[in-house]
Chain A
Amino acid sequence: MWYEKPGKDTDVVLSSKVTIVRNIKGFSFPAKMSDADRENAMGMIRQAGGNMGFNFIRCDEMDDTAKEDVFDQYYCKYNFLNSEQKTAFLLGKKEGLGVLLGDKEHISIVSFVSGDDILSAYKSAEEVAENFEKEMEIAYSDKLGFLTSDIRYVGTGLSISFLVSLPGIEKTAGALAILSKRAEKYDWQIRPILQSDGNKEAGMFEIKSIATLGVSESDMVSRAQKVIADAVKLERSCRTNIYKKKTLIVEDQFYRSYALLRYARKIEATEVLNLLGWLRFGLDNIKESEVDLDWDTINMLTHKVRRDYTAVDSRGRKNAASAGIRADKIRKALKKDNERG
């Protein structure tokens, strides 16, 4: 899995994501497509994708394990995987690289990299986009660039985002406003992540590009590097400041959080994310910690808890069961980490 690989600045940045959307000329956009057109377009994309070494999978032919895997790795929406309209997925040989077919746009290329490495995420996605552009005629106008169904993406069709954990900034008065202002200067936005039930995920934010016109792809990548560098710097300084001022509280919360995660038998996702936030506070600041833990484990747990396919469609009774399974998985991961340490 791409998120289990080590990356840069993983204490703050969990993942870098690039999405490039494209549409095929001559077909209506997916929402207005007839079934015959949908099949034709998918056939064309399947052939082009096959030439690039992608495996074609129809969503309605995926079993639950495959859906869980795609949901977990490529952040596909539950509705996309279980859509009544025919949707499909191109699975790349490279981890974290895939193509969603027939979602809002004909082709949505997604590229994920662990930590802060937007350049390599962009290059992987661009290579695929470039090949599609060479293999088939793409909807493009000299004036507006690549034409998309969603007006927000017309232009470069490129969207860059980072998943970041900012418990330090969240707990420092005014820090989030400073970071938002910085991001706005580059036409970027920062927003808290909400779970499917509308609850805010503690300390988790998405930093995302807005502009697709008036900027080139290279400008967007360089702005991404600046925005994320600012966020990492500010978050680290906030964590250190809080630790210096409230050492006892942070240390106490750190060990309490670890103990809960390590021994709980039933735990909710929101609680896990909150506890992981406290572990992030302490991990680098507490010298000679009595706990053997590393950033890779914390990030892996964060991903697993956030992208729990079984919890998405679960309602009522099923929730309690997934809370138990979740606690089991966390215990095992932390036990492994301790034994390794």
Chain B
Amino acid sequence: MRCERCGAPIGNKIIRYNGILLCEKCARDLNVEDPFRGTAMLGQPFSILGELSNALMSASNDLDFANANTQIRCPRCKTSLRDVETNGAVGCIECYNTFNETILKDILKRQGTSEYKGRKPGTRADIDETSAVKDKPETEAPAKPKIEVQPSKPEKKEAPKATKADLLEKIKKADLGTVSDDDLKEAMMLAAKNEDYDLAVRLRDELKSRKGDN
């Protein structure tokens, strides 16, 4: 579930304001989080009247907005705002300007972002074909002899350290869902050793959730 205002994922606490789903941060920004809690309320005995009048005002705004749905139409194809909201479809390019706010809200709700990261028209996507090669059996391993040619002094001792650091770096960047249990455990121990407790906790939670799944 995502916040319908900023698109951030919503945690355990579900807050609705005027029918809109909000995350805790947005709820705090809009002063709607737990309106009846805290000392502020006790300090301001008349605030409850304010809340009530706000609720009435927003309800009337909602009514106005509902009427407006039928009236707002795309000047070019005559698609109405209600059509866009109910069908999730627009009639022409101009609709994107006319119903910009509604469309962006819908996109944020569905996808969590409205940032375009794809290719431009007439160009090709830069696809990393090595990811497909990973699945194939490793028949070619030309890198090994090269390593043996390197000067072989005390660097041998540093090698395991480098791989451990690499593992941590790799795991920091990687999607945890793709990392094996063993790697997660090892990385968790390393992270704790390096006092990177944030990462260690993330890894522990991932391991826990996997155990829970099984």
Where the two chains meet, the residues of A that have a C-beta atom closer than 8 Å to any C-beta of B are: 23, 25, 27-29, 31-32, 104, 119, 122-123, 126, 130, 133-134, 138-147, 149-152, 154-156, 158, 174, 177-178, 181-182, 185-187, 210-219, 221-222, 225-226, 229
Contacts and interface: CB of A to CB of B under 8 A. Distances in A.
Given A25-B93, A152-B88, A222 B131 contact: yes
A213 B127 contact: no
Contacts of A217: 118-119, 125, 127
Q: Is the interface of B mostly helix, strand, loop or mixed?
A: loop
A221 B24 CA distance: 34
B117 interface: yes
Nearest to B76: A28
A158 B135 CA distance: 24
B175 interface: yes
Contacts of B43: none
A142 B96 CA distance: 13
A97 B85 CA distance: 33
Contact of A213 (B96, B114, B125, B128): B114
B116 A213 contact: yes
Nearest to B129: A119
B96 A158 contact: no
Nearest to A148: B90
A142 B79 contact: no
Contacts of A221: 125, 127
A151 B89 contact: yes
Nearest 3 pairs of A and B residues by beta carbon? A217-B125, A214-B113, A32-B91
Given A28-B76, A141-B96, A146-B118, A218 B91 contact: no
Interface in B59-91: 76-79, 84, 88-91
Contacts of A147: 93, 96
Interface of B: 76-79, 84, 88-93, 96, 103, 106-107, 110-129, 131-132, 135, 175, 177-178, 213-214
Contact of A140 (B121, B131, B132): B121
A151 B93 contact: no
Given A31-B89, A141-B96, 10 more contacts: A29-B91, A130-B123, A138-B121, A145-B116, A151-B106, A178-B214, A185-B175, A211-B112, A222-B131, A225-B135
A215 B42 CA distance: 48
Contact of B135 (A154, A174, A229): A229
B131 A225 contact: yes
Nearest to B79: A32
A319 B193 CA distance: 68
B153 to A, nearest CB: 39
B125 A155 contact: no
A186 B177 CA distance: 9
22 contacts: A25-B93, A28-B92, A29-B91, A31-B91, A104-B89, A119-B129, A130-B123, A134-B122, A143-B114, A143-B116, A144-B96, A144-B116, A147-B96, A149-B90, A150-B88, A182-B177, A185-B177, A210-B111, A213-B115, A216-B118, A218-B128, A219-B117
A130 B78 CA distance: 31
B118 to A, nearest CB: 4
Given A141-B96, A178-B213, A210-B110, A216 B119 contact: yes
A242 to B, nearest CB: 16
Contact of A186 (B114, B119, B122, B175): B175
Given A119-B129, A178-B213, A151 B118 contact: no
A287 to B, nearest CB: 24
B79 A213 contact: no
Given A104-B89, A155-B116, A225-B131, A28 B124 contact: no
A122 to B, nearest CB: 7
A144 B111 CA distance: 13
A174 B209 CA distance: 13
Q: Which of B117, B124, B214 has the most CB of A within 10 A?
A: B117
Given A28-B77, A126-B124, A142 B116 contact: yes
Contact of A151 (B76, B90, B131): B90
Nearest to B90: A149
A213 B77 contact: no
A154 B89 CA distance: 10
A214 B131 contact: no
Contact of B114 (A119, A144, A229): A144
A28 to B, nearest CB: 4
B33 to A, nearest CB: 27
A186 B118 CA distance: 16
Given A174-B213, A213-B116, A225 B125 contact: no
Contacts of B90: 29, 149, 151
Contacts of B84: 151
